[in-house]
Amino acid sequence: MTNYDPSDAFKKISRLIKEKSFNLVIEEYKNLKNEQLTPSLLIMKSTAIQLAEDSQGYTLDDAKEALFSALALDPENPETLMELGYFCYAVEDNTQNSITFFDDAAKKSRKILLNSIIGGINARLELGLKSEAKGVMHMYTNFEDDMKIQELLASLNS
C-alpha cells in the first residue's frame, strides 16, 4: 500500500461512485490503509462492494463490516445509520432490524435539520428578513410537495 491522501481518495472515489464505476472504486481501496478510512469512505466502500460486477474478493459480509466500522468511528452519523438500515432491509432481508437503524437515522437527521433551520431563520431575523425567514421555515417544514412522502401517506390512508 502506498501513502495515499484520504482527501484525494474521497474526491476520486466520490466521482467514481457518481459515475457508477464500482469496480474502479474497489481498486482505489487497495491504495488506502485501514487507518485512513473515514466513515464516508467506509460507506462508499460498502456501496461499491454491493454494486460492483467484480467485487474482487470482497463479500457482502465485508460490505456490512465496512458500515459497522463507519458506525464505530462516528455513532452519530445519520448516513451510516440509514445505510445500515438499507443493508438490513434490502440485502439481508431483515426488515425488523432495519427499523432500528432507520429510526435512529431519522432522529439524528431531524436534529441536524432542526438546528440548521433554526440557525438559518435566526440569521435572517438578525438581518431583518422576517418574511424570508417565514418562507424558509415553511419550505423546510412542509413535506406536502415531496411525492414519495405523499405516496406513502396515501398507502397508509388506504
pLDDT digits (tens, 9 = 90+) for 7-23: 788 899 999 999 999 99
pLDDT digits (tens, 9 = 90+) for 17-76: 999 999 999 988 888 888 889 999 999 999 999 999 988 899 999 999 999 999 999 999
* pLDDT digit string, tens, across residues 146-156: 788 788 878 88
User: CA 95 from chain center: how many Å?
Assistant: 19
- The angle formed by the CA atoms of residues 134, 139 and 141, to the nearest 5 degrees, is 95
Q: Is the pLDDT of residue 2 over 60?
A: no
As a 3-state breakdown, the chain gives helix, strand, coil percent values, each rounded to 5, of 75, 0, 25
Residue 3 has pLDDT above 80, yes or no: no
Residue 80 scores a pLDDT above 90: yes
Rounded to the nearest 10 degrees, the angle between the axes of helix 78-86 and helix 95-126 is: 150
Q: Are 46 and 87 in contact (CB under 8 A)?
A: yes
Q: Phi first, then psi: what are they for 24, rounded to 5°?
A: -70, -35
Please tell me the pTM assigned to this model: 0.81
pLDDT at 1: 43
- 15: part of which helix (H) or strand (E)? helix 6-18
Cβ contacts of residue 88 below 8 Å, gap of 6+?
94, 95, 97, 98, 101
Distance CA 142, CA 71 (A): 30
Give the number of residues written for the chain: 158
C-alpha closest to that of 48 among 1, 7, 15: 15
HEC letters along 70-90: HHHHCCCCHHHHHHHHHHHHH
The Cα 20–Cα 62 span in angstroms is 19
Convert the pLDDT of each residue in 85-132 to its tens digit.
999 999 999 999 999 999 999 999 999 988 998 999 999 999 999 999
The pLDDT, as a whole number, for residue 91 is: 96
Q: How many CA atoms lie within 13 A of 116 on its CB side?
A: 10
